[in-house]
A and B are shown apart, each in its own frame.
Chain A
């Protein structure tokens, strides 16, 4: 790739346009040199696809939590871009144990220590965790 071919397609996704990566390209003298790039359409597409998928899944989960079909745990798990395996690893629990906490009935009976641990991992307060999606 020559320096004049270095793509400059702005990465307008979640403040991604604030980073201008350095890319190596061949200059007119045939020598490699570093050039800043604001983004490349192909990469931006892949990045946008990943975020769209996250946002769509999260919106769907939020609906289910608000409808009372799921506890707030899976919502905040997805909001923190975690899957069940990763959340279980952070909690120091088996996946089936964490999965049980997805059930609204089980979630209501969780002790304050466990709730606090979840809240810390999700970077929110215990109140925010408990009250998410509750109907007024």
Chain B
């Protein structure tokens, strides 16, 4: 397992992409949608009281590190994951694993990833990428959201791994240590779907899961009344940025999960999963419609109540349809 054997594949989402790439390196044939579904990556959260860079936090994904751990656990893959107190020990640990020829997954801030264009480089601290070797003092990087492999200077990598803010990665890194002889894909798919249904439907608090989509819809309705026009537009803009940029959350995640349901349906020869995949594709289109309308509001810079009400209604459609779909998925017989 030398470093030149690591094959980089581009994916839609960072953590499911890293997970697929790391497992493929071990000879496990797994697609990104499969990793996303088994790892139950789909989530929703809106925390009006937690402001990041002055705007309320909205998340479309499960907490960082969860997808990789869950996929490994469900497929019987042995892994090691670790956080560090200081950069020196974190970089030493990285170097010693790379020296054995194993690629290493890491979480870091996008702001310090110098290989990305400035447009994307915000203080977003939950990005996943892989280091697969070292050359001329630079770390060789496979970042699943870009097409080709790249590299980064140690100083910038340290800054990214030890970024401050919300959340703080603290040098978090993870890698595969061993694979299982036989994997039960059917069981892993079942566990992944059940967990996503649980996280979307069961949280008793209004800020998490499907309920939070309706909370956000209610909040959007109040923006033009409570906020100055510029701020209202910024709040809406942030929802869309978290949804579609580096995070890929809104429509992108629905298509990703729909791709998972389709693949699972084919693998397990279940038409019901394929049917739910098609339904989720339509819901993805609704999320796109929501983003499209939000962009129109941003461009117009208006705070007329009607357009914000309409935007809220569009989000309610997403929430309602999704609730129905996850209720059906929850009732699946295995």
Which of chain B's residues 155-205 have a Cβ closer than 8 Å to chain A? 164-165
Say whether, besides A1-B251, A1-B284, A47 and B241 are in contact (CB < 8 Å): yes
Question: Once bound together, how far apart are the Cα atoms of A18 and B164, in whole Å?
Answer: 27
- A20 (CB) vs chain B CBs: closest residue: B147
- Residues of chain B within 8 A (CB-CB) of A18 are 117
Which of chain B's residues 21-35 have a Cβ closer than 8 Å to chain A? 33
- From A32, A81, A86, residue with most partner B Cβ within 10 Å: A32
Question: Once bound together, how far apart are the Cα atoms of A43 and B259, in whole Å?
Answer: 22
Which of chain A's residues 13-32 have a Cβ closer than 8 Å to chain B? 13-26, 31-32
- Residues of chain A within 8 A (CB-CB) of B11 are 22, 34
Question: Once bound together, how far apart are the Cα atoms of A126 and B314, in whole Å?
Answer: 51
Say whether, besides A42-B240, A53-B234, A81-B111, A86 and B164 are in contact (CB < 8 Å): yes
- B10 (CB) vs chain A CBs: closest residue: A22
- Residues of chain A within 8 A (CB-CB) of B309 are none
Say whether, besides A16-B120, A47-B119, A50-B241, A42 and B292 are in contact (CB < 8 Å): yes
Interface size bracket, A side: 35 or more
- From A34, A40, A51, residue with most partner B Cβ within 10 Å: A34
Q: A41 CB to closest chain B CB, in angstroms?
A: 7
Partner of A42, one of B117, B119, B285, B291: B291
Say whether, besides A53-B234, A81-B123, A43 and B291 are in contact (CB < 8 Å): yes
Asked if A90 is an interface residue, CB under 8 A from chain B, the answer is yes
Question: Once bound together, how far apart are the Cα atoms of A46 and B204, in whole Å?
Answer: 32
| Contact yes or no, A16 B117, CB < 8 A | yes
- Residues of chain B within 8 A (CB-CB) of A45 are 237, 240, 295, 298-299
Q: A63 CB to closest chain B CB, in angstroms?
A: 18
Q: B287 CB to closest chain A CB, in angstroms?
A: 10
Partner of B281, one of A13, A26, A50, A86: A26
Q: B162 CB to closest chain A CB, in angstroms?
A: 10
User: Per DSSP, are chain A's interface residues mostly helix, strand or loop, or mixed?
Assistant: mixed
One digit per residue, 1 when the CB lies within 8 angstroms of any chain B CB and 0 when it does not, for chain A 57-89 equals: 000000000000000000000001111001001
Question: Once bound together, how far apart are the Cα atoms of A53 and B54, in whole Å?
Answer: 12
Which of chain B's residues 223-265 have a Cβ closer than 8 Å to chain A? 230, 233-234, 237-238, 240-241, 244-245, 248, 251-252, 255-256, 258-259, 262-263
Q: A8 CB to closest chain B CB, in angstroms?
A: 15
Q: B309 CB to closest chain A CB, in angstroms?
A: 19
Question: Once bound together, how far apart are the Cα atoms of A25 and B12, in whole Å?
Answer: 11
Partner of A46, one of B33, B248, B298: B298
Asked if B288 is an interface residue, CB under 8 A from chain A, the answer is yes
- B144 (CB) vs chain A CBs: closest residue: A22
Asked if B145 is an interface residue, CB under 8 A from chain A, the answer is yes
Partner of B119, one of A14, A25, A26: A14
Q: B241 CB to closest chain A CB, in angstroms?
A: 5
Partner of B54, one of A42, A47, A49, A83: A83
| Contact yes or no, A42 B122, CB < 8 A | no
Which B residues are closer than 8 A to A by beta carbons?
Answer: 10-12, 33, 53-54, 111, 116-123, 145-147, 164-165, 230, 233-234, 237-238, 240-241, 244-245, 248, 251-252, 255-256, 258-259, 262-263, 277, 281, 284-285, 288, 291-292, 294-295, 298-299
List 8 contacting pairs A-B, 8 Å CB cutoff, sorted by A. A17-B117, A25-B255, A42-B291, A46-B238, A46-B244, A49-B237, A50-B234, A80-B111
Q: Report, nearest first, the 3 A-B pairs whose CB atoms are least far apart.
A: A16-B119, A15-B117, A32-B259
